[in-house]
Structure 1
């Protein structure tokens, strides 16, 4: 495996972007926890009791925003992890692969910043759409290659 990674620049590019995306998801999870603590809005009664009482087992708009950002990450990043890995095995040009991986990564970072920062519309929607374009491209290339080999 190490020889393949060293000889092929596409897989390391995917590994870098994928790992950064997973770290970004962890950061959103930590932010969610911090917002819960700051706003005293806990999902579980035992957490509310530990932090002030049962009245703090409640929802909060800012916590819900963090949760939606995290859910959106799961809905988009998990498919990217699959598509990107399969795409690596198609033998794409390193430049094309980097553009796909970096485009998705940057779109997701901007999407998260726009979501959590409550930036004006349509920044978040544009970032979402731009991040999805590389996924659509990779999916179509995978389908084409799979159909070609049938």
Structure 2
């Protein structure tokens, strides 16, 4: 049995796409914190109202929802609802040894769809635009999963 290696173009393609999606999801946590500090609000927990160097003037209104912070949280939640499926589906997909052009199309297509979804959501574009980018990613997940299922049944 040959050990997995990034010399394998399929695995390297997956590793790049998966790493980008993991970094994107982690970046959303940081963006949430940055937004909370910028807005001096949108906090969620009572202990966030303690006086600290980052919150020198606590105010109970800081626990009220803040749309700029909540928008980033919603984007992050959407990532957490979708990216884990990509990580699993993409990995299983490359195990089927698809043509490299198809792996590039689907794996990088998913990354692009998620980045465009982020841009549309972050800039408050229409639901239709955001939904279009989400749908592209969702269809890619379905295609990869059905491809994998077909390959597993055929083996």
The alpha-carbon deviation at position 110 of structure 1 amounts to 0.4
* Pairs within 5 Å for 1:55-134: 55-134=61-140
- Is residue 42–residue 70 contact of structure 2 (8 Å, CA) maintained in 1? no
Q: Give the secondary-structure state (helix, strand or coil) at the position aligned to 2:50.
A: helix
In the TM superposition, what is the alpha-carbon distance from 1:2 to its structure 2 partner? Answer: 7.0
Aligned to 2:59: 53
Give the RMSD, CA atoms, in angstroms. 1.6
What's the TM-score, normalizing by structure 1?
A: 0.90
- What number of residue pairs does the alignment pair up? 148
Q: Once superposed, which parts of structure 1, at least 4 consecutive aligned residues long, lie more than 4 Å away? A: none
Residue in 2 that maps onto 1:25:
25
Cα pair 1:83 1:138 within 8 Å, conserved: yes
Deviations 1:81-111 (A, max 9, x none): 0000111110111110000011100000000
**Which structure dedicates a bigger proportion of its chain to helix?**
1
**Aligned partners of 2:30, 2:4: CA distance in 1, in Å?**
36
| Unaligned ranges ≥5, structure 2 | none
For residues 2-52 of structure 1, give each alpha carbon's deviation from its aligned partner in whole angstroms, at most 9, with x where no partner exists: 77331x201101100110111111222111111112222211111122321
